[in-house]
A and B are shown apart, each in its own frame.
Chain A
Amino acid sequence: MIQNLIDGVLTGSYISLGAIGLTLVMHILRFANFSHAELLSLGAYVALVCDALVAALVPVFAVKLAPLSLTWALVLAILMSMVITGLSALLIDRLVFKRVREKGLELSMIFASFGMALIIRNVIGLFFGLSPQLYSRDIAFAMVLSRDPLLLVKPDQIFVLVAALLLMLMLHLLLSRTTFGYSLRAVAENPSLAQVNGVNLHRTIMAVWLIGGALAAVAGVFYGLSHQLIPVMGRDLLLPIFAATIVGGIGSVYGAVLGGFIVGIAGNMALVVLPSGYTPSVPFLLIIVVLMIRPHGLFGEARA
């Protein structure tokens, strides 16, 4: 029971990171981006390549930072992947979403993102093969927190949780203490009014893609570190991330964080009450319950 709760918090950390990017995009650009989760797999695979590159160029970095299964090479790879994935998100917007957006039909963006998701997922599959891959084949053993009841936590997961919380804190500061944060909120509230007041709409949108892509890359690597890399990981993560975004309320960064943890915990606690075959339904039952009580999510606001 308590073990499930702890597991849920740990799972929630990467779901939250993914949901933050999605909620920003959904809020500023006003569309449900089905290709967002593919940025997670893109980021994870880019890091896999960078990791191998760095480790080959500077072998010293390939040593593990015990007790983590993380290496310095992977840390550098994460940073590189953040940049590359952020730029990729920007590029995809430039090539596809921007053009579709300018045509201006409500559902076009959603379907364009669905099409992009298919493209990204299968291109990754063509490049890397369809089998699972790992950053490190060694198994990092869990630490025993308590014997009765038995509580186990893996050092990697603690690292993931701490790093995710730090990133969220940085994002919080960025949004609440900087001019950029204000302009972001202004655009979200009312794009034309914000423009009249001198906010560069174009640049704000670029920033949203960069931040969203970078956070997605981290989330993807953290997922890969905790589990494994597989080309369909984006598809598998899409639903929990969407659930987190919706439960938290579209547009609310704090909502996305909370939503991520709620979805993670619910997924892990579900087995306490439901037979294991039913786990995939849990995030949705949760969404429906939350939306029944709060039609715009926990932190979301009604808007036209």
Chain B
Amino acid sequence: MSITKYLWVAIGLAVSATALPGTAEAQDCTTKIGAVLPTSVDWGRPIAETAQFAVDQVNAAGGAAGCQIEMVLRDTQVDPKVGVDAAKALVDLEGVKLLLGAVSSGVSMPILTSVTVPGDVVQMSCCSSSTAFTKLSEDGKTNGLWFRTFATTGVQSAVAAKVAADKGYKTVAVMYKNDDWGQDMARLIAADFAAVGVEVTASVAVNDGQPSYRAEVTEALASQPESLYLALYPAEGTAAVREWISLGGTQNMILANSLKSDEFRDNVGLQYLGATLGTDTASPRSESADAFRAAYVERFESEPNGPGLANSYDATMIALLAMEAAGKDASGSDIAAAIAKVTDPNGTPVSADTAGFSAAKDVLSGGGTVMYQGGTGNVRFDKNGDVSAPAVVWAFSEGGIEEVEYMSLNDVDAFITSLK
């Protein structure tokens, strides 16, 4: 019957398709790494571009573990099924030992539980923020294969509370993205504001993909706060803030790092952002720390300001450094184990660019360890694959974004302890 005919065609296609790899590349050695990122979403595409940028830099330094790196990029469409299937295809068909992604926790989590952990593949996410990963790791279910360069939300919310207290704000309204990250932020920030004596007058969830945010803004405005805290992404952040300002809302705003974006600044208008301060994790105070920014500006002709860009860069760089440290034909666990060698606080500092990668290669080949100083700071992972970092308070300026205050890792820790 016709069904069998179709089946044979399908099987034929599948076989001929899988027969293709292996024929082309014989001469140069190339190592594939996988990336599953939402390239069909507005904030996802730049994250993927930045990851590719890091790969290009590593290749300019002669590649990692003796081979050029090819990043095979797949779109997740922010659909868990699609993301998981793409990850599985990368692991099984392309044989990758290292997977970058995903962005949404809802996609990263099933990839972790059903693809990377069973397949012994390192999974390094730039941006999945859910606290569920920490719990999963504590339960011993990640096999140490899970890492993320997104500093846990605790640092951001604590620093935002500090900003509000320093500025002397008495009341604040909170608008947060209604996803796992936003819900976490809203919960943490409420506690931290309370701890420093700032009253939260309204806490408004902002859903994705709503045609209008007027009602949400009106709700926040009605509580007549002295300041506004925003944990939103640029698309809905721009819409909400334009609405907020046009309705005469206060310009005393505190922003999460997701709004540290030129696009946001330009679309809202610098003249309204004079009293606005943002929070972010920060680079350490060293000369090499500017390397990422400088190289990025040269390549993209804009500052690396947007949700997850620096995180994506660091995720890629650290993963490739670890690959270099683990040597040729390393398994996923080997690479995961090598991550400590490249983020060693006592190691030789290396900058986040081609030169830094070359320098790291020399150190690693001599049996030493390095301390990667990336776009988001001196990245260091704890046993659950979470990262902590120094913090910075920033403001928008003519030239882009400038730093207002720097808090070292110790300052941050001390301040967080004082809140308890």
Contact = CB atoms under 8 A, between A and B. Distances in A.
Q: Do chains A and B touch in the complex (CB under 8 A)?
A: yes
Interface of A: 3-4, 7, 10-11, 122, 125, 130-132, 134, 137-142, 144, 150, 152, 154, 223, 226-228, 230-233, 235-237, 240, 267-268, 270-271, 275-277, 279-280
A177 B209 CA distance: 40
Q: Is the interface of B mostly helix, strand, loop or mixed?
A: helix
B242 interface: yes
Contacts of B213: 227
Interface of B: 40-42, 45, 178, 204-207, 209-216, 218-219, 222, 234-235, 238-239, 242-243, 245-248, 263, 266-269, 272
Nearest to A234: B211
B260 to A, nearest CB: 15
Contact of A139 (B206, B211, B242): B242
B372 to A, nearest CB: 30
B205 A140 contact: no
Contacts of B222: 3, 150
- Which 3 pairs show the lowest CB-CB distances between chains A and B? A130-B42, A277-B205, A268-B215
B125 to A, nearest CB: 21
Given A11-B212, A154-B246, A236-B211, A130 B41 contact: yes
A249 to B, nearest CB: 22
A130 B211 CA distance: 16
Given A132-B267, A237-B211, A228 B45 contact: no
5 contacts: A7-B214, A122-B40, A132-B42, A132-B239, A279-B215
Contacts of A280: 207, 210
Nearest to B238: A132
Contacts of B211: 11, 223, 227, 233, 236-237, 240
Contacts of B218: 3-4, 7, 268, 271
Given A11-B214, A141-B246, A279-B210, 8 more contacts: A11-B211, A11-B212, A125-B40, A131-B235, A137-B267, A141-B245, A236-B211, A271-B216
A276 B205 contact: yes
Contacts of A271: 215-216, 218-219
B159 to A, nearest CB: 25
B63 to A, nearest CB: 31
A139 B246 contact: yes
Nearest to B178: A277
A142 B248 contact: yes
Contacts of A235: 209
Nearest to A264: B212
B215 to A, nearest CB: 4
Nearest to A226: B212
Given A267-B215, A270-B215, A271-B218, A279 B247 contact: no
B207 A277 contact: yes
A275 B216 CA distance: 10
Most A Cβ at <10 Å: residue of B204, B219, B266: B219
B209 A236 contact: yes
A137 B215 contact: no
B245 A227 contact: no
Contacts of B263: 131-132
Contacts of A130: 40-42, 45
A237 B235 CA distance: 15
Nearest to B241: A139
Contacts of B268: 139
B219 to A, nearest CB: 5
A227 to B, nearest CB: 5
A228 B215 contact: no
Contacts of A270: 215
Nearest to A133: B267
Given A227-B212, A271-B215, A134 B267 contact: yes
A152 B247 contact: yes
Contacts of B239: 132, 227-228
